[in-house]
Amino acid sequence: MSDYKVKFAGISMAVPEKVLTNADLEKIVDTSDEWIRTRTGMVERRISDKETPSSELAFRAVEKIFKKGKIKPKDIELIIVATVTPDYVFPSTACILQKKMGIHPIPAFDISAGCSGFIYGVTIAKQFIENGIYKTALVVGVEELTKITNWTDRGTCVLFGDGAGAAVLTRANKGEISEVIDTYISSEGKYGDLLNMPAGGSKMPASQETVKKNLHTVFMNGNKIFKIAVKSMGDAATIILERNGLSGNDLNWLITHQANLRIIDATARRLKLSPQKVIVNIEKYGNTSAASIPIAFAEAVEDGRIRRGDLVLLDAFGAGLTWGSVLLRY
């Protein structure tokens, strides 16, 4: 039994203004709007400029929460940033974000769990709040995958977009309906080679050769990943529902990682959910990795689809390979 309950107190998102459409991509690689739409569900995505690193996009998302007035920067006691496209290898993007927020010393760190990063971040923050160590934590998913994209590889360059989503988790008061009910995370490192950035780390440091061979960009075996994604996202959703005595029928909303519309549809079918209960924005933003779930969540709260008290399931899958789910009453 945990000492305290945890809830989502605020959620927001930010994306760059510049839009890259399928038609634009037709001019870059041998692809077509028709192929991209039918194979992925994507129509356009946002691209960050050179002057805007991940920390800046993250800050824009975070500022929107504070502008609403209820939560103030000084309330934040912990910052977790989920990203595979940090400003630097070190220091962490979380520390840079803390500086931008202008707040007193608090713990701030990054986590690397690919597209599942936001789910991992919420899971970590939940522990700290439940056991009473902190009352308020900021969890950000931010990604600028277009900065590590191989623009000659049509199998990957059509997929990714940039964006940030931020959530403030706080201790819930007794009797409140809002609650993060449960989280589930898992990983399978043996599949790590199916999705990675080969160079730039300690295994293959940057050299002229690694740059020439485009090894500082995303490598992905999309076909194999697809099959594992369908299974593991379905499993993550089923496990968390079953262990809480629930089924898909009980959910008001499903928000999955936005990697491919066919993966989203397969997960919804496994839960026997009608498409009306599934939040999808892949057509606007493509795959924004760790940012995709908080962006979709924030948009659905903002436009009034998700209301206080709704039962929501978050479900993700990504590099690692990692996967996980969060069950919550908003």
Q: Which residues are catalytic?
A: 115, 257, 287
CA distance 77 to 89: 24
Asked if 216 is part of the footprint of ligand ACO (rule: CB under 6 A), the reply reads no
CB of 48 to ligand ACO, least distance (A): 16
Which position among 65, 108, 122, 229 is part of the footprint of ligand ACO (CB under 6 A)? 229
* Residues between 181 and 210 with contacts to ligand ACO, criterion CB under 6 A: 195
Asked if 223 is part of the footprint of ligand ACO (rule: CB under 6 A), the reply reads yes
Q: Name which of 14 and 263 has its Cβ closer to ligand ACO.
A: 263
* Residues between 87 and 126 with contacts to ligand ACO, criterion CB under 6 A: 114-115
Pattern of binders to ligand ACO over 258-277, x per CB under 6 A?
-xx--x--------------
> Helices 33-40 and 261-270 meet at what angle, rounded to 10?
20
Question: What is the radius of gyration, based on Cα positions, of the chain?
Answer: 19
* Residues between 19 and 58 with contacts to ligand ACO, criterion CB under 6 A: 31, 35-36, 39-40
CB of 35 to ligand ACO, least distance (A): 4
Q: Which one-letter amino acid corresponds to residue 177? A: I
Asked if 225 is part of the footprint of ligand ACO (rule: CB under 6 A), the reply reads yes
Asked if 292 is part of the footprint of ligand ACO (rule: CB under 6 A), the reply reads no
Helix-then-strand count for the chain, H and E: 11, 14
Evaluate whether 170 touches 303 at the Cβ level (below 8 Å): no
Asked if 230 is part of the footprint of ligand ACO (rule: CB under 6 A), the reply reads no
By beta carbon distance, the residue nearest ligand ACO is: 222
CA distance 229 to 220: 13
Q: Name which of 138 and 158 has its Cβ closer to ligand ACO.
A: 158
Query: What is the separation, in whole angstroms, between the first and last Cα of the chain?
Result: 21
Handedness of CA 325, 87, 95, 60 (dihedral sign): negative
Which position among 287, 288, 292, 325 is part of the footprint of ligand ACO (CB under 6 A)? 287
Which position among 4, 191, 219, 226 is part of the footprint of ligand ACO (CB under 6 A)? 226
> Helices 261-270 and 222-243 meet at what angle, rounded to 10?
30
Evaluate whether 147 touches 85 at the Cβ level (below 8 Å): yes
CB of 214 to ligand ACO, least distance (A): 16
Which position among 154, 231, 270, 305 is part of the footprint of ligand ACO (CB under 6 A)? 154
294 CB contacts (<8 Å, ≥6 apart)?
11, 13, 61, 118, 139, 140, 141, 164, 165, 166, 167
Which range touches ligand ACO (CB under 6 A), out of 88-96, 167-175, 255-263, 295-303?
A: 255-263
Asked if 319 is part of the footprint of ligand ACO (rule: CB under 6 A), the reply reads yes
101 CB contacts (<8 Å, ≥6 apart)?
59, 62, 73, 76
Q: Name which of 98 and 281 has its Cβ closer to ligand ACO.
A: 281
**What are the backbone angles phi and psi of residue 111, rounded to the nearest 5°?**
-130, 150
CB of 229 to ligand ACO, least distance (A): 4
Q: Name which of 95 and 199 has its Cβ closer to ligand ACO.
A: 199
What are the tokens at 178? 């809002």
Nearest to 292 by CA among 181, 159, 98: 159
Number of residues that bind ligand ACO (CB under 6 A): 23
Give residues in contact with ligand ACO (CB under 6 A).
Answer: 31, 35-36, 39-40, 114-115, 154-155, 158, 195, 222-223, 225-226, 229, 259-260, 263, 287, 289, 318-319
